[in-house]
């Protein structure tokens, strides 16, 4: 009974700050007011999301141009697909950069713990700064007359359009979310017993085979956790596309923000929020399932 009482503050917190806002969003998504100010039940918000009277060409990862087909989809579905495309690319780049960084930090932590902690501190330190300030800093660096293009001009090259495009948005996401990939992978790698590595080497495995058959399989829970922690905010963010996209890019987070703050259409905005939440929860469920399987499966054969 005493342990159950300790859970009451957590249950209250979840009820007030999670369940109640979700119920409010669901209420707005399923209701609207008529001309006389009377509240009525409606599915108009979801109809607006899937409306076919305003369609655009679907071109996920450039496949439409590559395969030569023209598929017209509702504009919000295309926005969701574009958000998915940029979030996936940013997650893959974070993984390609973050895993080697976490691996190097984990190796250093076994040899020189103080030095490893210093480099890990450098990865974490930008997270202490406000995300708005971090993103604004990239504007000063990468804008057409910014520091980077000015330096390139002295070398006789450029200027290049680094921002207000997919590259700028992806760069901002990688910069902001890279620590969320490094930290979980690092935390798993440092817990791998050195005796396992030594045993593989004693059995004749070289460094490459040891990594592929021992280190990498054991680090899969950290990889999946990092993917989860990067993909979800990259999928839903609206700050980074707003600043580094110059307001020219409409991703799903920006679409929801504009429905609430500009159009004042809370019905459509809430419907978009619910669909995005369902997509994110489904993605989390898949990643969590594979994370549990990889943590229970031990070493790969």
Joined tokens for residue 223? 């990889």
Torsion (CA) 69, 71, 77, 80 in degrees, nearest 10: 10
24 found inside a domain: no
43 found inside a domain: no
Q: Are 190 and 203 in contact (CB under 8 A)?
A: no
pLDDT, tens digit (0-9, with 9 covering 90-100), for 228-258:
999 999 999 988 998 888 777 788 999 998 8
Joined tokens for residue 244? 């580094």
pLDDT at 300 over 50: no
In 3-state terms the chain splits into helix, strand, coil percentages (rounded to 5) of 75, 5, 20
97 found inside a domain: yes
Q: Alpha-carbon distance 119 to 104, whole Å?
A: 10
Q: What is the pLDDT of residue 93?
A: 96
pLDDT at 30 over 60: yes
Q: What is the pLDDT of residue 37?
A: 78
* Summary mean pLDDT of the chain: 84
Measured at the CA of 285, the angle between CA 281 and CA 286, to 5 degrees, comes to 120
pTM for the model: 0.86
pLDDT, tens digit (0-9, with 9 covering 90-100), for 128-172:
888 888 888 888 888 888 888 888 888 888 788 888 888 999 999
pLDDT at 299 over 50: no
35 found inside a domain: no
64 found inside a domain: no
Domain tally, the chain: 1
Q: Kindly state the percentage of the chain with pLDDT values over 90.
A: 27
Q: What is the pLDDT of residue 111?
A: 64
Q: What is the CATH number of the domain that holds 271?
A: 1.10.3720.10
208 found inside a domain: yes
* Structural Rg of the chain based on CA atoms: 23
Q: Kindly state the percentage of the chain with pLDDT values over 70.
A: 91
Q: Compare 276 and 126 and report the one with higher pLDDT.
A: 276
144 found inside a domain: yes
Q: What are the beta bridge partners of residue 55?
A: 74
pLDDT at 42 over 70: yes
Domain membership of residue 83 as a residue range = 75-297
């Amino acid at each position: 009974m005493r342990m159950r009482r300790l859970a009451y503050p957590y249950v209250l917190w979840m009820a007030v700050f999670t369940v109640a806002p979700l119920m409010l969003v669901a209420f707005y998504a399923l209701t609207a007011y008529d001309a006389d100010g009377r509240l009525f039940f409606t599915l108009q918000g979801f109809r607006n999301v899937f409306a076919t009277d305003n369609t655009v060409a679907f071109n996920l990862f450039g496949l439409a141009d590559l395969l030569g087909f023209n598929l017209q989809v509702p504009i919000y579905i295309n926005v969701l697909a574009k958000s998915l495309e940029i979030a996936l690319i940013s997650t893959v780049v974070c993984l390609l950069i973050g895993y080697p960084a976490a691996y190097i930090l984990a190796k250093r932590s076994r040899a020189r713990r103080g030095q490893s902690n210093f480099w890990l501190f450098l990865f974490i330190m930008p997270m202490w700064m406000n995300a708005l300030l971090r993103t604004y800093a990239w504007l000063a660096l990468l804008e057409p007359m910014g520091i980077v293009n000015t330096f390139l001009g002295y070398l006789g090259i450029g200027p290049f359009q680094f921002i207000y495009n997919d590259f700028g948005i992806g760069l901002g996401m990688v910069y902001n979310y890279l620590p969320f990939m490094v930290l979980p992978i690092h935390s798993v790698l440092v817990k791998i017993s050195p005796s396992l590595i030594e045993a593989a080497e004693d059995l004749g495995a070289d460094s490459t085979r040891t990594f592929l058959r021992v280190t990498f399989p054991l680090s899969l829970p950290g990889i999946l956790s990092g993917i989860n922690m990067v993909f979800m905010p990259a999928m839903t963010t609206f700050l980074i596309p707003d600043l580094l996209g110059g307001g020219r890019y409409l991703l799903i987070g920006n679409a929801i923000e504009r429905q609430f703050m500009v159009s004042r259409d809370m019905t459509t905005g809430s419907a978009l929020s619910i669909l995005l939440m369902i997509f994110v929860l489904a993605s989390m469920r898949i990643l969590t399932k594979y994370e549990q399987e990889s943590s229970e499966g031990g070493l790969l054969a």
